[in-house]
Structure 1
Amino acid sequence: MPVVEVVLPVPPAAAFAYLADPRNRPAWQSSLRAVAEVVVPDGDPTAVGVTWTDVTAVPGVRPRLRTVVSEPGRRWAEVGELAGFSATLDLAFGPEPRGTRVVATFTVAGWGVGALLGRLAVVAVRSDLRRAGELMRTAGHE
């Protein structure tokens, strides 16, 4: 199971609020062009049960995702599925003298190539989280 750790220059509550809201993802996730069909059942876009569709850079690839864990400022996780593939992303947040340590654990499974895709995703996830940190820093998230 691939793991990525990054330090973001904002407090855990701010990092959680930004990263767990799927509407922010196109700004920091390199593979996305947009999110669509966002359903927020209880008015909190970071809560368990929120669903959305990723509109990826690859035409026709539109996985459906849902939040399965939401512990504000501590942990957030999603599950996504598309045509025989499934993926999970789990983010753990912890205080760090310079901001927040985010530990991202993820899996990709399906059709025998899940392990390869997971290894390839390490670089993208690290880069995407760093981009999110820079966006939060420049926007003054506190």
Structure 2
Amino acid sequence: MSFTLDVDFAASPAEAFALLSDPVRRPEWQSSLRTVQVLTEGPPRVGTRWHDVTWPGLRPLMEITVFEPEQRWAERGTWRGVTVDLLLDFVATPTGTRVTATCTAYAVGLLRPVGPVLDRLGPLAARDDLRRAARIVSAA
């Protein structure tokens, strides 16, 4: 599964990046999360790891793989044979920032049938979550 989508933020790249790149703030805008359990001390950076604790009870291990303030951020999440890579690109626009999200998911073994479900639900959930993040940043 792979998809790309754009969401416009009425905020600077610095403001959008600050919200989206901080794992601790994820439950504010990502609807599937209850909480985040950070495993790496210090500020977010490449190599920062955490567990997403989701409403359904899944606990994928997450890691920041790219951290370029105000420009690009990426993570990899893994859980029982499923790997999801998310890349966010931040581009200044006349009205704020365009965030382009590119997501690729891989499933192996018995979880391979999850692929079609991710194909349908992934883009919708990502779009809704990023729109929620855009509202949060613009209200600040």
Same fold per TM (> 0.5)? yes
Note the aligned Cα RMSD (angstroms). Answer: 1.2
Query: TM-score with structure 2 length normalisation?
Result: 0.91
Match of 1:56 in 2: 54
Gaps of 5+ in 1: none
Amino-acid identity (%): 45
Gaps of 5+ in 2: none
* Contact persistence 1:70–1:77 (CA under 8 A): yes
Matches within 5 A, 1:3-82: 3-40=4-41, 43-45=42-44, 47-59=45-57, 61-82=58-79
Query: TM-score with structure 1 length normalisation?
Result: 0.90
Cα shift readout 1:77-122 (whole Å, capped 9, x = no counterpart): 0001011111011000000111100000001211323354133210
SS at match of 1:2: strand
Give the aligned residue type for 2:99: V
Q: Distance in 1 between matches of 2:67 and 2:116?
A: 26
* Contact persistence 2:23–2:38 (CA under 8 A): no
